[in-house]
Structure 1
Amino acid sequence: MAATNATTITAEHGGSANLNPTHPNAPGASGITYRRMAWSDVDAVVKEFDDTWGDWSSAAGTPASIALSRHFVLHYLEPATGATIAERDGRFMGVLIVRVPGRPILFPQAKQTLADTDQALAADKAHGAAALRETLQWHALETDLERDTHVNDTTQAEIELFLVAGAARGHGVGGTLWRGAMRDFAGLGVRRYYLHTDSSCDVSFYDHQGLDCEIAWYAADHPQYGDDMDDIFIYSGEVAA
């Protein structure tokens, strides 16, 4: 499953930090506007998430696919303390969601909404229940890798989700969201951050940004996870002063 906490910049882991590249509702290049994410944006994020990664789960092509994508988005939003939406003429173009421990939670309602979504998936014996089990296994593995690397002890923030719509390609949306996040991290005193990614994503983007690969987990070394499992990575990076 290609759902990861951060992903490729070409198809792409509020509250405490605006994460606005300029200022709220500021138009950028190509008429792109950047603003604080609202709860009403969740459906648009879920749709783009499903369009990007819906084919990678066992629920692909079934009604459970969009529900599973909703699970992932809510999983990232539950601990989130900041998120910025990019849009053009009201159309979703991208989002970057972060977690800075100790800052106010952006959407307190995400926790219950996630629980409701999981309950509905578990009740779908045809497709949803199996897909949810696979996904929870994925989350548990990511938690194990965090523990192995002690990354939560050496960083002060996490990029939960970095998603850029295919329609935004070539408009600088990913780069603008990224630079805005780095500026806001600096403003919050974050010195180092981390993110999860996997082999379904353009991992080279993070190498290009100068991030360090904390750990690489290769699916071929763990056949018990099945043939469709992606390679998983944790990257961390310094925030420029």
Structure 2
Amino acid sequence: MKRVDADVLADLLRRVWYAEGDPGTQTVAARADLEFCMARATAAVAVECDGRPAGVCLARIDGGDTRPLPINRHHITACRSMLRLLRSAEGRRSASELVKLGVEGMMLSADARRQGRTYQAEVILLILDPSLQGTGIGARLLGHMEREFRAADVRRYFLYTNTDCNVGFYERRGLNRRITHVAHAHGRSMAYYLYDASMRQ
């Protein structure tokens, strides 16, 4: 993905998931989030509107990462963004939320392993410009990624999501909610989910 695309997608994340608070701080938080996602991705598909990226689906396919080192440039960029967030109270809260997302993901995966669930792929990120929601573009992005999964002989894949996201979209696509964690922080509750699906060959 080109640098300019990453900048545009980071701005998209900011508008969708990091809209509250100081725009500068939340832009850095969105960039850290995107870079952490890109650090693990082995497959990507994007959609453009008027020549600009308006949505993206990032995924990881087991065995698909041919990078020679476990740490790549996206990890480094994400860590730099996290360090920038530590300069302010709002930034520290945002950094804490990003860490919490990672921890919740690890807990959901640990529960899945205890249940004997195994996966060959993960949808890491699926985001679409709000103006394009309801147009079927999100379904096409996910459908494209599912075709890549089939081509790689993936039998089952999973994704993490939470109550801030459109979980109904995944249920309409036939994914199953397997695990739920509810966390309480800052006077509100947030539910984190692991959804999965079987690939019909």
TM-score of the aligned structures, taking structure 1 as reference length: 0.75
Q: Point out which structure has higher relative CO (alpha carbons under 8 A, 6+ apart).
A: 1
1:148 equivalent in structure 2? 111
Structure 1 residue 98 displacement after superposition:
0.2
Name the aligned partner's letter for residue 237 of structure 1.
A
Check if 1:234 corresponds to 2:194.
yes
* Per-residue deviation, 1:105: 5.5
- Which range moved further: 146-155 or 92-101? 146-155
Q: Answer yes or no: is 1:128 the counterpart of 2:91.
A: yes
Of 22, 32, 48, the residue aligned with 1:71 is 32
Q: In structure 1, what is the Cα distance between the partners aligned to 2:104 and 2:25?
A: 22
Is 1:137–2:97 an aligned residue pair? Answer: no
1: CA distance, partners of 2:3 / 2:60: 16
Following superposition, the deviation at residue 88 of structure 1 comes to: 2.3
Specify the SS of the correspondent of 1:154: coil
Name the % identity.
Answer: 25
Judge conservation of contact 1:83–1:97 (CA < 8 Å) in 2. Answer: yes
For 2:58, the equivalent position in structure 1 comes to 97
Per the alignment, residue 125 of structure 2 pairs with 161
Of the three residues 204, 207, 221, the one matched with 2:168 is: 204
How many residues in Structure 1 have an aligned counterpart in Structure 2? Answer: 197
* Paired AA for residue 145 in structure 1: L
4+ runs deviating over 3 angstroms = 37-40, 105-108
Question: Higher strand fraction: Structure 1 or Structure 2?
Answer: 2
Greater share of residues in helix: 2
Q: Could you tell me which of 94, 104, 109 is aligned with 2:73?
A: 109
Residue 215 of structure 1 contacts residue 233 of structure 1 at CA under 8 Å; is this kept in 2? yes
Gap runs ≥5 in structure 1: 1-36
For 2:149 and 2:2, the matched residues in 1 are separated by 20
On the 8 A contact 1:80/1:105 being kept in 2, the answer is no
CA contact (8 A) 1:93 1:167 kept: no
How far apart are residue 229 of structure 1 and its match? 4.2
- 1:71 aligned partner, one-letter code: A
Mind listing any 5+ residue stretches in structure 2 that lack a counterpart?
none
Matched residue SS, 2:190: coil
**What displacement does 1:200 show?**
1.4
The alpha-carbon distance between structure 1 residues 96 and 131, as it changes in their structure 2 partners (threshold 3 A), is same
User: Given that residues 87 and 93 in structure 1 are in contact (C-alpha distance below 8 angstroms), is that contact kept between their aligned partners in structure 2?
Assistant: yes
Question: Using the alignment, how far apart are the partners of 1:236 and 1:210 within structure 2?
Answer: 9
